[in-house]
Structure 1
Amino acid sequence: MQEGEKVSIEKGFDGLRPQTRALRAGHDPASHHGFVNPAVVHASTVLFPNTDTMRKRAQLYTYGLRGTPTTEALERALDELEGSAGTILVPSGLAAVSVPLLAFLSSGDHLLVVDSVYGPTRLFCDTMLKRMGVEVEYFDPALGAGIAARMKANTRALFLEAPGSNTFEMIDVRAMSDAAHAAGALVMMDNTWATPLFFRPLEHGVDLSIHALTKYPGGHSDVMLGSVSATRETYQRLRAAQMQLGLNVGGDDAYLVFRGLKTMAVRLAHHQAAALEIARWMEARPEVSRVLHPALPSFPGHDLWKRQFSGASGLFSVVMAGGGTREASAFLDALQIFGLGYSWGGFESLALQPDLSDRTVALAPEEGPVLRFQIGLEDVEDLKDDLLRGFEALAAPASARDMA
């Protein structure tokens, strides 16, 4: 195994490693007539045996919005993987970002957000939160413990994402969490890239771990779902906000993600190995200035990744050696296996040129356009052949590209 391929998974609680926990978490076959999977419950109304029980809501399930055995099974499974005290499910990854921000921020509060954050997260902060009267400030992901200097008397939360969206900057999660807690602020982190198999934020001081379950937990590009896993101190307020907003998910979607968890470790092993092989191959291409992949020793944040994470997923970017949007389009339009599409974490390989124009501190690379790749489950040699089509399109004369 070469440098950068840190794929071991630390033992989880009760002596079982996370990939084994994922197979058993959230559902007890013995309590469901021996069936190894939970039933998919479609429900709105729940009946009560008498008025006293109804007044006191003295039963586990009271209304479909508040949860069903199917959604509870997925929540419990995610708690097992995250090491959290409670998890909520919401209809998308973006909802998983917005609900905790709405739950813990009020008018007049100050929010610190890493500048390499997911674009829709930034849009939510710059529109709805600012209309609510929340002061939003972006900071350099390299700040580390220096984030303490950005804390104000009204700082209520620190929002992290690691690695950074599209450009994959790594951050010192523990140092930033400790600085935030010392100032009385909560820490929220988007952990979608790593999944709880490769990083468990709550073990590094984070209070709320956010996931787009649409990605690797679902794994098949057929469901949209999000989750927030919380510490004991933050869970009740988070859950109350979810109910106040009237957000939950249906049984079919919850079941698809519950099923996806069973194979996530196997799929991630392929995503990781294939992405590293292609990243190293692209690093040697003259058309590529540099590869933005935290598991590569050449990446500036590699040591931080190696110290905190136990693996890498299938998403990374490259900085092209010159050119602009026209050249990026020529490369992407020549691809036949890689699809041009948003999202990632599914079975299929994808590519796009991300928009980095909204950065304020963590500015876009200057050597050439940035192209982001999601490496799926296809044969690696077929993917390399497809990327060669892109490089050949770059080598074609501009006039030939224009005619194509």
Structure 2
Amino acid sequence: MSHIETDLIHSGKTFNNTPAVVPPIYQTATYYAADNAVDYAKAATEARHPYFYHRHGNPVSSQTAELIARLEGTEAALLTATGMAAISTAVLSVVKAGDHVVAQHSHYSAANILLKELLPQFGVEVSFADQSDNASFDKAIKANTTLIYLETPSNPNLALTDLAYVGALAQKAGITTVCDNTFASPINQRPGDFGIDIVVHSATKYLGGHSDLTAGVICGSQAVVDKAWKKLLSLGGALAPFDSWLLLRGLRTLSLRVRQINENALALARWFEKQPLVKRVLHCGLPSHPQHGLAKQQMRGFTGMLCVEIDGEDEQEQFARAQTVLNHLRIFANAASLGGVESLAVHPASMWGMHHSPEQKQKAGINDGMLRISVGIEHIEDLIADFEQALAKCSD
């Protein structure tokens, strides 16, 4: 297939061994009663076998993984129970005690815990680079660096990493690269096209798209994914059959959803720039974004994620006004997660407070007046009207 829209509907059907148009849910733990010892041994030892035992794989997961690999342009993919299962499995399949990892200042909060607390417990050193400064990655590399871990656009401040630069730098030094592509989705960006070795997603977000499942995915070469699969067998993060089925169903409309979400987010971001109570707007599609030129180089769409900073005389007033806006939104739900068909708005400083010190929040570009917004597929006029009435409450 040559077009994404067609691939999303028809890829991976080799794993559906029934005449059904929609694959069934294989709600079983043991998939395979072997006819003989030779067949059993083959099924038990073959990486990601779809018909052996659930922790090894299942048919719908295999079908879904093949589709996501096609979307990311990689040889293979592996599904996991959550996005963090994908991140931790990918990282732990690369590093060992005595190794050094280069990461960014700005990452998803749970990934930050993995990098700053968990890896050092196992003798892995982690240094942090400014993702907007290419030279910062050069300076951070050491003789024992085995992994560069990236996230672009980053959560929540929408900072970008130059994928082509870091990809080339790492390849020259023999360093493995992992990139979290959750905020972009493979519709908007494919890190593998820029030399990145492993791509991870929280499939809970755009890939699933309906806020009704948790899942993760690791994409890369056959060798990389097989190695991650062996690690996952020990870590135990297998995706449940029903969630595999829900994820496959959600992927069918990924292109349509992301196209509408991109359009809505850019229109909302442009509207925010004209509002006197909004001090700053961060969206990759705006010329005012400090890395807009890079976004145009490596992204095909600018995502449904944006941040706004509510204005005020000081950060205390910014915080109070941000809370006022959140409390009066009617369409935008104040709820965790992102990337679904519904629009959400959250206060990052509150969410990240338990994981970040004030200095860490500052380095990550988070302040008390910031709102992170995940734009859905509702009508844009309704989304604008919702923020218009909520902002007006700050002047009441």
TM more than 0.5: yes
SS of match in other structure, 1:197: coil
**Which SS does the other structure have where 2:178 is aligned?**
strand
- Residue 354 of structure 1 aligns with an amino acid whose one-letter code is P
Q: Letter of the 1:220 partner, please give it.
A: H
Please tell me whether residue 294 in structure 1 is matched to residue 284 in structure 2.
Answer: yes
Alignment check: 8 A CA contact 2:130 2:136 kept: no
Equivalent of 2:244 in 254, 257, 264: 254
Find the counterpart in structure 1 of residue 92 from structure 2.
Answer: 102
Consecutive unaligned residues of structure 1, counting only runs of 5 or more, are: 1-13, 397-404
How many matched pairs?
380
Alignment correspondent of 2:320: 326
Question: Could you tell me how far apart the structure 1 residues matched to 2:282 and 2:60 are?
Answer: 39
User: Which stretch of structure 1 is more off in the superposition, 203-212 or 386-395?
Assistant: 386-395
Using the alignment, how far apart are the partners of 1:363 and 1:313 within structure 2?
Answer: 20
Residue 183 of structure 1 and its aligned partner are, at CA, apart by 2.0
SS of residue paired to 1:166? coil
Alignment correspondent of 1:283: 273
Aligned pairs for 1:179-258 within 5 A? 179-258=169-248
Query: Cα deviations across residues 176-214 of structure 1 (Å, max 9, x unaligned)?
Result: 121122222110000011111111111111111011111
Corresponding residue for 2:390? 390
Percent identity of the aligned residues?
A: 31
Which residue in the other structure is 1:4 paired with? none
CA RMSD of aligned residues (A): 1.9
For the 8 Å contact 1:109–1:156, the answer to whether it is kept is yes
Structure 2, unaligned runs of 5 or more: none
* Alpha-carbon separation, structure 2, partners of 1:34 and 1:54: 26
Q: CA deviation at 1:33?
A: 4.8
Q: Is the 8 A contact 1:107 1:132 kept in 2?
A: yes
TM-score, normalised via structure 1 length: 0.89
Q: Say if 2:68 and 2:77, in contact at 8 Å, map to a contact too.
A: yes
1:115 aligned onto 2:116: no
Question: Superposition pairs for residues 62-77 of structure 1, below 5 Å?
Answer: 62-77=52-67
Report deviation, 1:363.
Answer: 4.4
Instruction: Kindly indicate whether residue 368 of structure 2 is the aligned counterpart of residue 378 of structure 1.
Output: no
Name the stretch that deviates more: 230-239 or 39-48. Answer: 230-239
Distance change >3 Å, CA 147–CA 69, structure 1 → 2? same
Could you tell me how far apart the structure 1 residues matched to 2:34 and 2:242 are?
24
What SS does structure 1 have at the residue aligned with 2:394?
helix
Instruction: Go from structure 1 to structure 2 and tell me whether the alpha carbon gap of 1:191 and 1:131 turns closer, same or farther (over 3 Å shift).
Output: same
2:340 aligned partner = 346
**8 Å Cα contact 2:348-2:366 kept in structure 1:** no
TM-superposed deviation, 1:346: 1.0
State the AA in 1 paired with 2:39.
T
In the alignment, is the contact (CA less than 8 A) between 1:275 and 1:314 conserved in 2? yes
CA offsets per residue over residues 201-247 of structure 1, 9 Å max, x none?
11111111011111111111111100010124422221211112222
In the TM superposition, 1:24-35 aligns within 5 A as 24-28=10-14, 32-35=17-20
Q: Distance in 1 between matches of 2:188 and 2:130?
A: 24
AA of the residue aligned to 2:10: R
Tell me whether 33-42 or 181-190 shows the greater mean CA deviation: 33-42
Amino acid at match of 2:26: V
Distance in 2, matches of 1:56 and 1:310, equals 42
